Amino acid sequence: MPLAGMLEAGLFAARLFAAGSAAIAPPGAVGPELPPPPPRPADYALRWEAPPECPSAETIAARVQALARDPTGGSGTAFVQAQVEATAAGYRLVLATEFLGNVETRVLEAEQCDALADATALVIAVTLQPALATVPPVRDAEPEPPPEPATPEPDARPEPLPPPEPARPRRAVPVQALLRAAALGEWGSLPGPSGGAAVAIGVAWPRIRAELEAMWVAPRSTPRRDGRSATVQLAGGTARACYRVWVRSVELPVCAGLEAAAAIARPQGTRSTDRRVGPSVGPKIGVGVARQFRTVGVFAAVEAVGRAYGTSLSVDGTRLFTQAPVSGRLWLGVELHLPPRPPVAGPKISP
């Protein structure tokens, strides 16, 4: 049974218990005076943090409104904070409610994130309208005599059973296209530390990124030897895949890829100053941190690039430069995600 269904069943059992207790009391019995009902809020403010495949805060607000249709008579605001994170078995919800200084915390788990959204909406609705968890007392009614079984006609046929209700469709896995522009710092590919820029396009699923990237690293000059030197710059492309680890709404991508690049050198102090190109190919690994705000996000990463094949530069028999077997890079950039991600946190939402 989904988690929301189990909560509703629990509320239904509470109603039956209240009804049964009232029915057992003898007619006309007068009990002790009941204390006044506890205060209840007239409104609520929700902060919802969840992975992108989960329902949005607006969806939960619509479900609360459908459950609590008449939340009148209260005063004040209840503050609700819900944090959902993915686990090996599905999803885990930590739900905290605060009203008039009283704080309650619940921890729920479910295979589907939609069930935790239903549970959150149900808790908010009962907070606004406690009558959802109780029913008015009823009296025992005399049982009616069972109806006499009807004798079917010889040629009568039983009516066909109604068709079963269709299964609830699962939420489609969201897919986003992404575009990134980044600045980078680089050491090891050129004669000295340098900076550059890169652009990338890709596709992102809830757990996987796939990207194609083009980069350029600004020229650096080699030390002068025997009156000769050269300026060297780097241009290349990368195919990269990343596994997306989520910590609440922050992404920690762990990436691996393959880079093909070219070191472009122009000698100085020689009779020939023709441009020379040296290729390099190698694997790369890295880890980053990203935070998406609807359409726009920020991105940072560190990366190591190995060279299965590197390049070196010699002029008139004098070696001026050799690429390091491993180079390091630091990335800082912004990302554009389409379609926009549903909001996972926001200001006060009224039912």
Amino acid 328: pLDDT: 96
Neighbours of 262 (CB within 10 A): 15
Q: In sequence order, what are the residues at sequence separation of 6 or more whose Cβ sits closer than 8 angstroms to the Cβ of residue 93? A: 82, 83, 84, 106, 107, 108, 109, 110, 116, 119, 120
d(Cα 188, Cα 141) in Å, to the nearest integer?
A: 88
pLDDT in tens, 326-346: 999 999 999 999 887 654 433
Which residues pair with residue 214 across a beta bridge?
A: 199, 237
Amino acid of residue 135: V
pLDDT at 8: 52
Which pLDDT score, from 0 to 100, does residue 44 have? 84
Higher pLDDT, 63 or 217: 217
75/11 Cα distance (integer angstroms)? 24
Of the listed ranges 27-41, 216-230, 257-271, 290-304, the one predicted with least confidence = 27-41
In DSSP terms, 338 is beta-bridged to 177
Can you say how many angstroms the Cα of residue 301 is from the centroid of all Cα atoms in its chain? 19
For residue 192 the two structure tokens come to 């000295």
Gap between the Cα atoms of 49 and 36, Å rounded: 36
Both tokens assigned to 190: 């050129």
User: What does the alpha-carbon distance between residue 108 and residue 85 come to, in Å, rounded to a whole number?
Assistant: 11
Going by C-alpha positions, the residue among 180, 172, 178 that lies closest to residue 114 is: 172
pLDDT tens digits, residue range 255-310?
999 999 999 998 887 776 778 888 999 999 999 999 988 899 999 999 999 999 98
Place 36 in a pLDDT band, splitting at 50, 70 and 90: low
Q: What is the pLDDT of residue 260?
A: 96
Q: Which DSSP symbol is given to 139? A: -
DSSP letter for 228, please.
B
Contact by Cβ (8 Å): 77, 42: yes
Distance CA(114)–CA(122), nearest Å, equals: 12
- Comparing 40-49, 132-141, 204-213, 228-237, which segment has the lowest mean pLDDT? 132-141
Query: Range with the lowest mean pLDDT among 27-36, 101-110, 122-131, 259-268?
Result: 27-36
Identify the pLDDT of residue 346: 37
Task: Please tell me the predicted confidence (pLDDT) of residue 248.
Answer: 81
- pTM for the full model? 0.53
Token couple for 165: 């209700």
Indicate whether 204 pLDDT > 90: yes
Range in 117-126, 128-137, 259-268 the model is least confident about: 128-137
- Amino acid at residue number 127: T
Residue 225: DSSP 8-state: B
State the chain's mean pLDDT as an integer. Answer: 79
Q: Model confidence over 143-189: pLDDT tens digits?
A: 566 666 666 555 556 566 666 665 554 444 478 999 999 999 999 99
**Domain architecture of the chain: domains with CATH:** 3-23+39-133 (no CATH), 176-338 (2.40.160.20)
For residues 190 and 322, give the distance between their C-alpha atoms in angstroms, rounded to a whole number. Answer: 8
